[in-house]
Structure 1
Amino acid sequence: MKFTIKDFKGVIPAALSIFDKDENLDIKATKDFIKFLLEFDIKGLYLTGSTGEGFLMNSEERIESVKAVMEVAGDKVPVVVHVGDIGTKKTIDLGKAAKEAGATAISSVPPFYWHFNSKQIFNYYKDLAEAVDLPMIIYNVPLAGMMSAEMIKDLSQIENIQGVKYTNTDIYQIPAIKESCGEDFMVYGGADELASSNLLIGVDGIVGSFYNLIPDLFIRIDEAIKNKEVERAYKLQKDAVRIISYIVEGGNMVAGIKAVLREAGINAGYARKPFINFYEEDQKRLAKGLVDLADKYKMENIRVIDMLRGKS
């Protein structure tokens, strides 16, 4: 294998999955969009997670999307495939398909909906780790139910479980997780609004939704932290939060990101229902508002925003 989980560091987009207007998976557009992301200095890709609308796809579509991405990116950056689902069997099948496609590692949210207890969640991860011979990143996120630091420590003792994606605002737990699980246990910050804070407290990488839209801004944040330019990182993070808040306030994050990218001339496709897409005038309005925001705060050298400016 070309990459190991230790190569999965830095700024990592939780990549969009690309669907056409009729909600069909668009393989050509998927490959083109991944090529666009690879034009930036990203350090990996995280596929078919929440941002990738993985739960709105059937297993065949998830596998097909992963294979398409691997054809483009597999020899360029490490790729982690989110295989999580409610059922253990389905998750294992997706994990085996990810391995066959050449993924560097797999990841999964805990099983949700039925309020599974800690033993059931532990067994879910244990079964998956034993069935799929790849490193695994567990995923702590409020949407699926948060696991305790103690549970993460227990899971870290299982062979193949080698990291956690931590998407929450109580990031004070991250250093404690790193300390209790050991330095070799990879920790990824998943809250885009806290990217600079996550990097300051020592995460191995940041994985997020808005790295599809403004990856260059987050790459500069990462570089500023590495260079100990904390004040610069803080200013860049404020710009990132302004952009995030503007899109999120539109009521539909995934559809909003895709609409702005489309308006900039990048085919990011459309979100699947029940998400509500932006079309025509609403798409133009959303994009114009983003440019106005960027102009107000003198944001420069953000490629997608500069592309939008060129169209105005």
Structure 2
Amino acid sequence: MTHSDSSTPPFGRALCAMITPFTEAGVLDLDGAQRLAGRLVAGGCDGLVLSGTTGESPTTTDAEKAELVRAVRAAAGDGVPLVAGVGTADTRHTVDLARAAEKAGADGVLVVSPYYSRPPQDALEAHFREVADGCGLPVMLYDIPGRTGTRIEPDTLIRLAGHPRIVAVKDCAYDLLGTQKVLSRTELAYYAGCDEQILALYAVGAVGYVSTVANVVPEQFRAIIDAFDAGDTGRAARLQRRAMELIETMMASGTPGTVTAKALLTSLGLPAGPVRAPLRDARPETADALRAAYARLAAEPVV
């Protein structure tokens, strides 16, 4: 059994929303980014998302974003799709970042809804079209109303699906009915953007996922979709449930996923470094809970 869906994964199936490593002085750690990217690819990630929410895009400079793409491209090679987060609250700035990502070697761009200004749906649609028209890369729309304050409504997504460069959606809308409506009426490639929904969305036609928790356990999530593709849906469900303690500890404990991912990676001796203000590094008790959840998951091999 293979995963049956009319959409083709434009950026791979198993994507990690990669953290952006910094040195202890808070400087971009390009060597660390390359080492982490290599580990993620070796662990089953067939695509990487850079400078997204987990990558601290609001607090990295335009130059740092381009440098990160170039460094990870050099480490990962040409066979691993790189999707660069370029979304901002300013349409012109977003277009500029998309063009810079294209020049730096990205394979696609992740474009979040403009935040704070909360544009109505017609303005939101025009924003995405202007970005897609302004660069030569395929676009993944990022629907995360809990952070932006604005939902990309299903009817808007259906209209945007007609644009030749708008090809995918990172879905963090928590609206299974709306997601299935778009899946049934378009060829958009859906990626689960919330780790607890990976199997659920994959089962109804998503092509893969963009995972924060995969920074730490990339093999775990790749195993879920591989089991589903092999027809072993029971095992896929067991693997998803087995990951839930770590998912909850990292993503639903009141501490941002960027913070928890960096804390756990640091405890494992992997590239991460501090987060940038206004975020703050994890409290000791949070780090302890993360290590404990990780240890329990790691004690059971992915088989």
TM surpasses 0.5: yes
**Would the alpha carbon gap of residues 283 and 31 (structure 1) be closer, same or farther in structure 2, given more than 3 Å must change?**
farther
Pick one of 237, 241, 245 that aligns with 1:234.
Answer: 237
**Would the alpha carbon gap of residues 288 and 134 (structure 1) be closer, same or farther in structure 2, given more than 3 Å must change?**
closer
Instruction: Tell me the SS of whatever aligns to 1:12.
Output: strand
**Would the alpha carbon gap of residues 154 and 291 (structure 1) be closer, same or farther in structure 2, given more than 3 Å must change?**
closer
Output the CA distance in 2 between the equivalents of 1:132 and 1:7. 17
5 Å-filtered alignment, 1:296-311, equals: 299-301=299-301
Pick one of 268, 289, 293 that aligns with 2:272.
Answer: 268
CA contact (8 A) 2:10 2:167 kept: no
Which residue in the other structure is 1:158 paired with? 163
**Would the alpha carbon gap of residues 234 and 276 (structure 1) be closer, same or farther in structure 2, given more than 3 Å must change?**
same
Instruction: Tell me the SS of whatever aligns to 1:69.
Output: helix
Superposition deviation, residue 289 in structure 1: 2.1
5 Å-filtered alignment, 1:159-174, equals: 159-174=164-179
Encode CA deviations 1:220-278: one digit per residue, 9 max, x unaligned. 11111112222211111112111111234262421221111111121222211222213
**Runs of 4+ residues deviating >6 angstroms:** none
Which residue in the other structure is 2:261 paired with? 257
Superposition deviation, residue 301 in structure 1: 2.2
CA RMSD of aligned residues (A): 2.0
TM-score (norm 2): 0.90
Output the CA distance in 2 between the equivalents of 1:253 and 1:205. 20
For structure 2, the 5+ residue unaligned runs are 1-7
Higher relative contact order (CA 8 A, sep 6+): 2
Output the CA distance in 1 between the equivalents of 2:66 and 2:272. 19
CA contact (8 A) 2:143 2:171 kept: yes
**More displaced stretch, 217-226 vs 286-295:** 286-295
Aligned letter for 1:28?
D
CA contact (8 A) 1:260 1:283 kept: no
Output the CA distance in 2 between the equivalents of 1:43 and 1:206. 11
TM-score (norm 1): 0.87
Output the CA distance in 2 between the equivalents of 1:129 and 1:30. 28
Output the CA distance in 1 between the equivalents of 2:175 and 2:13. 21
Output the CA distance in 2 between the equivalents of 1:189 and 1:70. 24
1:58 lines up with 2:61 in the alignment: yes
Q: How many residues align?
A: 292
Q: State, as a whole percentage, how many aligned pairs show the same letter.
A: 26
